[in-house]
Amino acid sequence: MARIVFELDIEAPASDVVDALDTEEGIAGWWTPSVTFPGGAGSTLAPSFAAAPAPFELRVDEVSDRRVRWASIGDFPPHWVGTEVTWTLTPSDGATRVHFSHDGWADDGGPFPSAALTWGLLVQSLKQYVETGTGTPLPGA
């Protein structure tokens, strides 16, 4: 199994990071403006993208001030089936250390390198959004 991992500090409290990860407004601010998301554990996060033929579907399995966890459900994108995205939040000198992982990839070939690059850009967009109120989301549907 392959995994994508990033870690960075965001100059904001964990509650601000959770708001960016667990609200429709937050997701729209750093990931994609085309999103349907009621927020909260048990809900479904459905981001859409101009280049994708269908929205992604992620079930929110956990939301706390220490962790946000999403599980890919449905069959699109096919290379995400069975994967899990985890955001672990730890206080760090007045900031929040964010450890991101996207686990459960079948291997590190095919679409994996492109997904890793995209997540790297998105983690930076999340940081920018939380710290300044303006991220760099991907084009929506």
Calculate the alpha carbon distances from 102 to 25, 49, 69, 95, 115 in Å: 22, 19, 10, 23, 10
Domains of the chain (ranges, CATH numbers): 11-132 (3.30.530.20)
Question: For residue 13, which amino acid is it?
Answer: P
- Which tens digit of pLDDT belongs to each residue from 52-101? 888 899 999 999 999 999 999 988 999 999 999 999 999 999 899 999 99
The mean per-residue pLDDT over the stretch 126-131 comes to 98
- Which tens digit of pLDDT belongs to each residue from 6-26? 999 999 999 999 999 999 999
